[in-house]
């Protein structure tokens, strides 16, 4: 019967609910008085000092694929040279700075940059370089080499700089 | 009055009623007693109540038929129930479409939300009170349901609704907002 | 077959109250229709107030405000507003008010009339000093929003974000900024020549935590807004980032890099003790607390690509549970204030990044934005609006949307802006 589909009948449980008034349509008028909170703000200006470290070791930049932190064969070629350099100069410490392109979230990119830096460190360690000669750090997407939102710019930014 | 016909009895009762109808099922008591004393007591089922008589009768009918009983619903009474159900159904449908047209369903709400409202309605169709009897748990959804009813304000078609039917079914109604996606 | 004649008697007590239960299954979309009558008082102040209130309410996406040309004069009869005027215009509510301005103070009085119920539902006063006119307007907007929608307004909340400008030699200068929820009233919290990222509000709105590269590596600082006092959270020389305050203000979840890769730690601020929360080979970062402070969600690369995971802090040895399953990149998640879902960055199959919403009880995600590189979403404390970063014509700026569909943009006054963080309620 059609009528049955358009009407739903009640059970006792409904009748008990009906005695609760959750939202009264006859609420009284709301009267309020509020004073605006004050907020003082102090600004801090940091002294300008450059934290850019010394010149990059000749051609010592390794690049990475999108979303990846493993070394490409091209990268390994570059790192062979770095390993050599470090073996010949047993006193020097180098800095491995990881970066990422701008896509994705900033913090994840910071961590990705760090992973890339660690990948390079791990290779060098596996080739006899002591851990304490390596400083790994990340700048995420904060220091792009190439500005621009295209594949070319992005590929240049996914890197570890060896300094 | 010495007829054995049910219809005659109903006629008789109607004509001789001197007082206004009373609320409650208490007035069924004397009838129940008479019936229980009579020889047909164990063969008569009295279905009395405010809502659901038709449905109950239908259900019982089907149940008996399935259990190999043959039953016969009094034709006249069935016809009368049917006509009333149709009218209720028509007004119910009008209420639904009026509220549906006024309802602004909010965006980006989770699926499966249900909010139930109760409305008090005057004979003129004016909605005097709206209560949220069951919240959907999402305030934007609840608000949209309340707002739909507020915007409607008055069901104008109540002018053609008979007082009897209004009193019986439409003084207070409940609406369930249950969007299908 | 048994033959049993049943006679059924129907007895219908007359005058009985019945109840009908109906089901509504569809509806159309359209907002509250309101009229705001110009407030009495100084015309310039009144106009300014009106514009700010209008913008605040339009940004919520829940109002349609009557054009000023169509406003009717307020007619009163026997001390009562003539509601039928406004009903004819199709209005749901009318707002009126007055401004009383002295040399040292401003009082804004406003009233809200419910056109359907034919009664005044609110009479409020907000007061302050003359240079607080914007805040007075925001408090008024919030009062209007709250009375009509029942939801707490966010017009009087604040935003943090990072601004970067480049000089003629392309050298960048970075600023951590604090502003009103509409981007006005900008104040500089920190100026630096090195990047600043991940600003985070303390729950009481009095402090900020952020990552600064001023020492050459990522380090987390906490700065007091009123005094400017700041300090690094950990004196060790390890890199730290991704700060997030617990809802009670007593803890800071952080990402530390001392273990060879990004891991999540929780620091108790009282004594700076650290508790490690993750311990596996992949990246774990971008932690964020649940509203009750009993869970954190974070981004982890442990399944091979960034996905969202959840940790129950009340368990003894909590195991991270993965909660995002669609797509290959889901990150920077934060909870909606009632924990009914999460907002996060999602990379769709076409490689583009969008802001998405996933309700807890649904098993699919809703992508809410359309640009190409949407990032850093931050949810407003009422759960109805989200602010995030976009890039338009190579310039980074802020954009926002309300769950009800309104959109807005906040471009930088100079340079670029990004990394927004929405404060808690401050009223």
Is C32's CB within 8 Å of B51's CB? no
Give yes or no for a contact between C374 and C388, defined as CB atoms under 8 angstroms apart: yes
Sign of CA dihedral B9, B10, B12, B16: positive
Q: Is B20 helix (H, G, I), strand (E, B) or coil?
A: coil
Mutate to test the interface with C, among B109, B147, B164, B165 (most CBs of C within 10 A): B147
pLDDT at residue C325 in the model: 94
Report the distance separating Cα C142 and Cα C147, nearest Å.
8
Domain residue ranges of chain C, discontinuous segments joined by +: 32-149, 158-422
Residues 42-61 of A with CB under 8 A from C: 42-46, 48-51, 53
What CATH number has the domain spanning C158-422? 2.120.10.30
pLDDT at residue A57 in the model: 65
Q: Which of C197, C236, C234 is nearest to C214 (CA)?
A: C197
**C-alpha dist (Å) from residue C401 to A75, A146, B129, B155, C236:** 43, 31, 34, 36, 40
Percent residues over pLDDT 70 in chain C: 93
Q: Please name the residue of chain A whose CA is at the shortest distance from the CA of residue C214.
A: A51
A115 CB within 8 Å of a chain C CB = yes
pLDDT at residue C78 in the model: 78
Is A25's CB within 8 Å of B131's CB? yes
| Burial class, A155, CB count within 10 angstroms (exposed 0-12 / middle 13-18 / buried 19+) | middle
Is C8's CB within 8 Å of B111's CB? no
CATH class of A70-162: alpha beta
pLDDT at residue B64 in the model: 72
Is C426's CB within 8 Å of A30's CB? no
- Chain centroid to CA C335: 11
Model confidence at A56, in pLDDT bands (50, 70, 90)?
A: low
**All domains of chain B, ordered by start, with CATH?**
6-81 (no CATH), 86-177 (3.30.1150.10)
Domain residue ranges of chain A, discontinuous segments joined by +: 70-162
DSSP B154: B
Contacts of A17 in chain B (CB under 8 A): 133-134
Contacts of C354 (CB under 8 A, 6+ apart): C345, C346, C347, C348, C367, C368, C369, C370, C371, C374
Report the distance separating Cα A89 and Cα A85, nearest Å.
6
The number of CA neighbours under 13 Å toward the Cβ of B64 is 18
Q: Which of C223, C68, C50, C351 is nearest to A66 (CA)?
A: C351
| Burial class, C195, CB count within 10 angstroms (exposed 0-12 / middle 13-18 / buried 19+) | buried
Q: Is A137 helix (H, G, I), strand (E, B) or coil?
A: strand
Report the distance separating Cα C138 and Cα C53, nearest Å.
7
- pTM reported for the whole predicted model: 0.80
CATH class of C32-149: alpha beta
pLDDT in tens, C54-105: 989 988 888 889 998 999 888 888 778 889 989 999 999 999 999 999 999 9
Q: How many CB atoms lie within 10 A of CB B63?
A: 11
Selected residue with higher pLDDT from A47 and C251: C251
Pairing mode, strands C395-402 and C407-410: antiparallel
Angle (deg, nearest 10), helices B75-102 and B139-152? 110
The rounded average pLDDT for each run of 10 residues, N- to C-terminus, in chain B (181 residues) is: 76 68 68 71 69 80 66 59 84 91 86 93 93 92 90 90 90 89 53
* pLDDT (average), residues A20-39: 66
Please, what is the average pLDDT of chain A? 80
Contacts of C265 (CB under 8 A, 6+ apart): C253, C254, C255, C256, C274, C275, C276, C277
Secondary structure (DSSP) of C80-101: EE-HHHHHHTT-SEEEEEEEEE
pLDDT at residue C337 in the model: 94
* pLDDT (average), residues A45-62: 69
Q: Does residue C8 surpass a pLDDT of 50?
A: no
Q: Which of B140, A148, A43 is nearest to C148 (CA)?
A: B140
Q: Does residue A26 surpass a pLDDT of 80?
A: no
pLDDT at residue B43 in the model: 62
Q: Which of B41, B88, B21 is nearest to C9 (CA)?
A: B41
Angle at C48 between CA C42 and CA C52, to 5 degrees: 140
| Burial class, A43, CB count within 10 angstroms (exposed 0-12 / middle 13-18 / buried 19+) | middle
Give yes or no for a contact between C395 and C416, defined as CB atoms under 8 angstroms apart: yes
Report the distance separating Cα C146 and Cα C60, nearest Å.
12
pLDDT in tens, C195-253: 999 999 999 999 999 999 999 999 999 999 999 999 999 998 899 999 999 999 999 99
Contacts of A7 in chain B (CB under 8 A): 88-89, 92
* pLDDT (average), residues A42-63: 74
Report the distance separating Cα C254 and Cα C288, nearest Å.
9
**C-alpha dist (Å) from residue C31 to B89, C63, C111, C136, C178:** 31, 5, 20, 25, 31
Q: Which of C331, C377, C263, C315 is nearest to C323 (CA)?
A: C331
Report the distance separating Cα B81 and Cα C400, nearest Å.
57
pLDDT in tens, C121-179: 999 999 999 889 999 999 999 999 999 988 899 999 999 999 999 998 889 999 999 99
Q: Which of C80, C112, C78, C110 is nearest to C94 (CA)?
A: C112
Q: Which of C336, C346, C327 is nearest to C380 (CA)?
A: C336
Is A6's CB within 8 Å of B92's CB? yes
Sign of CA dihedral B87, B92, B95, B100: negative
CB burial of B27-59 (b: ≥16 within 10 Å; e: otherwise) equals bbeeeeeeeeeeeeeeeeeebbbbbebbbbbee
pLDDT at residue C95 in the model: 96
* pLDDT (average), residues C301-318: 94
* pLDDT (average), residues A135-158: 93
pLDDT at residue C248 in the model: 96
Give the nearest partner residue to B92 out of C22, C29, C362, using CB atoms.
Answer: C22
Q: Is B105 helix (H, G, I), strand (E, B) or coil?
A: coil
The shortest C-alpha distance from C176 to chain B (Å) reads: 32
Give the nearest partner residue to B133 out of A6, A9, A22, using CB atoms.
Answer: A22
Report the distance separating Cα A104 and Cα C375, nearest Å.
7
Report the distance separating Cα C36 and Cα C50, nearest Å.
8
Q: Please name the residue of chain C whose CA is at the shortest distance from the CA of residue B54.
A: C10
Pairing mode, strands C251-256 and C240-245: antiparallel
Between A and C, how many residue pairs show a Cβ–Cβ distance under 8 A? 188
The shortest C-alpha distance from A107 to chain B (Å) reads: 28
pLDDT at residue B76 in the model: 58
pLDDT at residue C61 in the model: 83
Alpha helices in chain A (DSSP H): 2-6, 12-17, 73-88, 106-126, 151-157
Model confidence at A47, in pLDDT bands (50, 70, 90)?
A: confident
Is B108's CB within 8 Å of C357's CB? yes
Please, what is the average pLDDT of chain C? 90
Q: Does residue A28 surpass a pLDDT of 80?
A: no
Give the nearest partner residue to A106 out of C136, C198, C283, using CB atoms.
Answer: C198
């Amino acid at each position: 019967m059609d009528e049955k589909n358009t009407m739903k009948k009640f059970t006792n449980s409904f009748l008990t609910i009906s005695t609760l008034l959750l939202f009264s349509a006859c609420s009284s008028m709301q009267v309020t008085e509020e004073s605006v909170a004050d907020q003082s703000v102090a600004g801090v200006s940091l002294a300008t000092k450059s934290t850019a470290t010394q010149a990059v070791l000749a051609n010592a930049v390794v690049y990475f694929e999108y979303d990846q932190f493993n070394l490409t064969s091209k990268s390994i070629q570059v790192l062979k040279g770095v390993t050599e350099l470090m073996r010949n100069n047993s006193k020097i410490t180098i800095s491995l700075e990881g970066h990422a392109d701008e896509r994705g979230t900033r913090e994840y990119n910071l961590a990705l940059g760090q992973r890339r830096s660690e990948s390079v460190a791990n290779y060098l360690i596996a080739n006899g370089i002591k851990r304490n000669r390596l400083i790994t750090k990340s700048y995420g997407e904060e220091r792009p080499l190439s500005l621009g939102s295209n594949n070319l710019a992005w590929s240049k930014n996914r890197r570890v700089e060896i300094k | 009055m010495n007829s054995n016909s049910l219809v005659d009895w109903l006629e008789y009762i109607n004509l001789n009623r001197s007082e206004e109808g009373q609320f409650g099922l208490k007035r069924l008591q004397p009838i129940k007693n008479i019936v229980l004393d009579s020889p047909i007591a164990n063969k008569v089922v009295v279905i009395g109540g405010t809502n659901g008589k038709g449905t109950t009768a239908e259900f019982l009918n089907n149940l008996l038929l399935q259990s190999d009983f043959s039953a016969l619903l009094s034709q006249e009474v069935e016809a009368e129930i049917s006509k009333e159900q149709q009218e209720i159904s028509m007004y119910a449908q009008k209420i639904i479409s009026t509220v549906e047209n006024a309802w602004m369903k909010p965006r980006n709400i989770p699926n499966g939300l249900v909010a139930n409202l109760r409305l008090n309605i005057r004979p003129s169709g004016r909605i005097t009170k709206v209560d949220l009897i069951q919240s959907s748990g999402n305030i934007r959804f609840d608000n949209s349901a309340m707002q739909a009813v507020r915007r409607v304000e008055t069901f104008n078609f109540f002018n053609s609704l008979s007082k009897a039917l209004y009193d019986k079914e439409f003084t207070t109604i409940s609406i369930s907002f249950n969007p299908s996606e | 077959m048994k033959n049993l004649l049943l006679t059924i008697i129907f007895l219908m007590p007359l005058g009985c109250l019945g109840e009908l239960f109906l089901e509504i299954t569809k509806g159309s979309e359209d907002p509250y229709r309101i009229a705001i009558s110009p407030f009495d008082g100084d015309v310039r102040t009144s106009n300014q107030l009106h514009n700010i209130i209008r913008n605040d309410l339009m940004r919520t996406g829940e109002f349609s405000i009557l054009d000023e040309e169509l406003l009717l004069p307020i007619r009163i009869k026997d001390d009562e507003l003539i509601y039928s005027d406004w009903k004819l215009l199709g209005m749901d509510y009318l707002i009126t008010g007055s401004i009383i301005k002295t040399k040292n103070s401003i009082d804004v009085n406003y009233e809200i009339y419910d056109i359907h119920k034919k009664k005044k539902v609110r009479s409020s006063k907000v007061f302050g000093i003359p240079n607080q006119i914007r805040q007075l307007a925001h408090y008024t907007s919030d009062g209007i929003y709250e009375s009509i929608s029942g939801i707490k307004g966010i017009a009087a909340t604040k935003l943090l974000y990072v601004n970067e400008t480049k000089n003629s030699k392309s050298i960048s200068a970075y600023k951590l900024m604090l502003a009103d929820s509409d981007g006005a009233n900008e104040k500089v919290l920190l100026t630096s020549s090195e990047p600043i990222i991940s600003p985070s509000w303390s729950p009481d709105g009095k402090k900020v935590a952020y990552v600064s590269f001023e020492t050459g590596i990522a380090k987390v600082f906490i700065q007091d807004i009123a005094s400017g006092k700041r300090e690094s959270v950990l004196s060790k020389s390890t890199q730290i980032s991704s700060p997030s305050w617990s809802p009670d203000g007593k803890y800071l979840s952080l990402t530390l890099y001392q273990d060879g890769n990004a891991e999540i730690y929780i620091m108790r601020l009282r004594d700076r003790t650290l508790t490690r929360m993750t311990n596996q080979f992949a990246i774990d970062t971008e932690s964020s607390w649940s509203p009750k402070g009993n869970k954190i969600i974070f981004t982890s690369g442990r399944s091979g690509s960034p996905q969202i995971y959840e940790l129950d802090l009340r368990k003894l040895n909590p195991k991270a549970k993965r909660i995002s399953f669609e797509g290959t990149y889901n990150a920077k998640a934060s909870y909606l204030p009632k924990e009914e879902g999460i907002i996060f960055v999602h990379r769709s199959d076409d490689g583009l990044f969008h802001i998405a919403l996933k309700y807890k009880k649904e098993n699919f995600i809703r992508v809410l934005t359309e640009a190409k590189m949407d990032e850093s979403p931050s949810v407003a404390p009422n759960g109805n609006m989200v602010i995030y970063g976009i890039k338009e014509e190579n310039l980074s700026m802020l954009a926002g949307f309300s769950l009800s569909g309104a959109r807005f943009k906040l471009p930088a006054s100079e340079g670029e802006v990004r990394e927004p963080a929405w404060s808690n309620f401050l009223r």
